[in-house]
Amino acid sequence: MAVAIEATAKGNGGGGGRAGAGDASGTRKKKGPGPLATAYLVIYNVVMTAGWLVIAVGLVRAYLAKGSYHSLYYSIEKPLKFFQTGALLEVGIVPSSVVLTSFQVMSRVFLIWAVTHSVKEVQTEDSVLLFVIAWTITEIIRYSFYTFSLLNHLPYLIKWARYTLFIVLYPMGVSGELLTIYAALPFVRQAGLYSISLPNKYNFSFDYYAFLILIMISYIPLFPQLYFHMIHQRRKVLSHTEEHKKFE
């Protein structure tokens, strides 16, 4: 859901990712940020682009050193946690709803900390690498898109990549997320991780195992709707770009 959820961004000009820092490509013209806000957003997006590039380089270097794609998560675990958690800084500074943005960001943070970090056994699963690669490529493109948009110099290649590569990256990321949660289930159940059983003084119970299953089920109605919404947005945004080129 972390990848799929961020696909929705009605009014962000096509939603190639969640409405991120400095997204000013909306179908409705909105008042732009002031000079100080713009400077902050440019710096933030440059730092985040560089951070995800560090993760990408780390993956490549680890693969070349090991000669295998297994267990590459350990080579980028710290920067992945840092920069993905750093996305919390987007909450309240983006043009979309604070509630929506919070939910979108927290879905990834949840997968990183409450699943992958908490259930050590899944860290060697290939499914983790699947969503990490999808996230990394998506975020490099997304933050580059926001940076160049803020500077009013958006290369067509970056715009095209933002509204095209999701066709492969979103199903890839969602598959990795679901498989990772699924792999965590038996360990969560065995250890009773984050679960609260009765009786207790608060008269409250919580089954984290069942909670994870509910999260997996939520992908069924959400992902197709968001994915096809993005397909529609892609046609609108890229066709508009082509028409604009003809008039130039």
Active site residues: 170, 177
Tokens 């996230």, located at residue: 135
Tokens of 103: 């939910």
Yes or no: say if 3 and 169 are a contact pair by the CB < 8 Å rule. yes
Going by the DSSP 8-state scheme, the letter that residue 197 receives in this structure is -
Q: What are phi and psi of 195, to 5 degrees?
A: -90, 150
Tokens of 226: 């968001």
By CB atoms closer than 10 A (0-12, 13-18, 19+), residue 162 is buried
Yes or no: say if 105 and 85 are a contact pair by the CB < 8 Å rule. no
Q: What are phi and psi of 143, to 5 degrees?
A: -70, -30
Q: Burial letters for 68-87: b for 16+ Cβ neighbours within 10 Å, e otherwise?
A: eeeebbebbbebbeebbebb
Helix ranges (H only) for the chain are 2-5, 35-66, 73-86, 98-110, 126-150, 156-162, 166-191, 208-247
